[in-house]
Chain A
């Protein structure tokens, strides 16, 4: 039995692969969730203009935790409004706070994100802020009541991988909440590396959605994330970088 659970809020997960559900056909969403044994998937909220059209909720198997995001929000107030609407649809208290008012690079606004996190946590949402991996801002998120921290690995949709690796490591070292890399992960090997480093989960979307064989790529991510997690738990073996001059004695002076 798997005893290594991911815990967010008070909920336990076996899967550490959070799926972003954008850019898939509805049918494919279902296939991907099944192939990758996904337990949590993000959703976005939009105006329902075509009343009769098919609803994505029909393609997400029961039991999957839905993580509505606040994409489209340009400030804290808008994020809060979107989160409240999402909760009203009736899919639980989880929310991924995403506040972007930079339409060129689509980088998250940490300050507004912290404000939204604080407001939503007070309303008993389980808040997972998406942020640029800045230690001080991450501490603000913790103080604001976040349930997990979602730092970006690289600009969203860029598939460039863990460009912010050193800063994410600092978050892992300093922040006691789950650290979930979100955005930028382009390959299973990068997801694996994030997990080896000690991230608690990885979120991916574009990398899966743009693969030639989407279902197979979803499976590949699942396996890579599990491999990385196992490696982290096993404790990485030594990579000796300080050893070069360690043969010279530094402790000869001791007199016991």
Chain B
């Protein structure tokens, strides 16, 4: 039997369609972005500016800017200080399930991979959260695989309600929802939603997302807007750097956030920068490879473009990198991380999505932040 591929640009039944021109603007913006035209002079002029425009952001993400990383870092550090002072937020993610109905060719959770699937019971969730809260953390990010049947909105809502007992800030990294579902989870106690578009290149997106609701590009890209319409306080953006042309994808995610911020000035914006690591043993340099240099360039460009936005640095990166980017451009760091299902109070139940490079405990990360003269913050915000 031959499967007819689902049109990835077409909404499916049950997927709410909102009226918004943001997707078209982002796709066009990405298409038109030609980073090869910028010169050293453009970079220096941009670095001297007080406000960084969309055009300047393009310049900062270009190869021409790569040789000005140190200058960018100095300017970024000043901006970070201006907007966040010495504070660095600490949080931890908790995977409550890893069932997934999508087939994304690059992902460890994808539905065709024979991994151990699991879902925590409410008691297990409570136990995990209690253990996490005993480390002092007050912010949690609840994650599931993307499977609405296995991990329903009601199930996630219950998890949020449990989290409310132990945490003051609750974020969600789950499959995209309709506005009313976001509103429900907001009422349960969640305030922040992260959805990563992975790649903003529609053709590449189609190639990489073979099956499952995630294949539907427009439903995913409009998730942040629906989350805000549902009453969420903040939304996070990102692309999986290295899947496609990382400069274009970094630009698209930034433009996406910028347009959301213009339309909803009250929304809190944040970014996260997962990357595919280049293969170590390949000698020739490939232009899509995202080494630490390129990752830092992207992070610095975001800081300068949106000085007020939160930037999270993942445990996918090594401790030495993470410790250096906090205070310079990153404002939020995870600690005591387990990326399997559960794993905080007892042995994890399900397999991991990816490997982490910074296994340090909450205490260790806390100490290393303090050592840098920065201030670790557990509660950045109180829900009223």
Contact = CB atoms under 8 A, between A and B. Distances in A.
Verify whether A and B have any Cβ pair under 8 Å: yes
A250 B73 contact: yes
B75 A255 contact: no
Given A242-B78, A255-B292, A256-B292, A250 B70 contact: yes
Contact of A242 (B47, B53, B328): B47
B51 interface: yes
Interface residues of B, number: 26
Contacts, number: 57
Interface string A228-256: 00000001111111110110011101111
Given A169-B51, A237-B45, A238-B48, A254 B73 contact: no
B48 A240 contact: yes
Given A173-B53, A242-B74, A246-B70, A256 B293 contact: yes
A251 B70 contact: yes
B324 interface: yes
Nearest to A238: B48
A139 interface: yes
B265 interface: yes
Interface string A12-26: 000000000000000
Nearest to A244: B74
B45 A255 contact: no
Interface in A160-195: 169, 173-174
B320 interface: yes
Contacts of A256: 291-293
B367 interface: no
Contacts of B74: 242-243, 245-246, 250
Contacts of B291: 254, 256
Contact of B324 (A173, A243, A253): A253
B20 interface: no
Most buried by B among A239, A240, A241, A253: A253
Contacts of A136: 265
Nearest to B77: A250
B75 A242 contact: yes
A181 B78 CA distance: 30
B51 A173 contact: yes
Contacts of A241: 48
A251 B51 contact: no
A255 B320 contact: yes
Nearest to B292: A254
A239 B45 CA distance: 8
A254 B72 CA distance: 14
Q: Which 3 A-B pairs have the closest CB atoms?
A: A238-B48, A256-B291, A250-B73
11 contacts: A173-B53, A235-B45, A236-B45, A238-B44, A241-B48, A242-B71, A242-B78, A250-B70, A251-B69, A253-B321, A256-B293
Interface of A: 136, 139, 169, 173-174, 235-243, 245-246, 249-251, 253-256
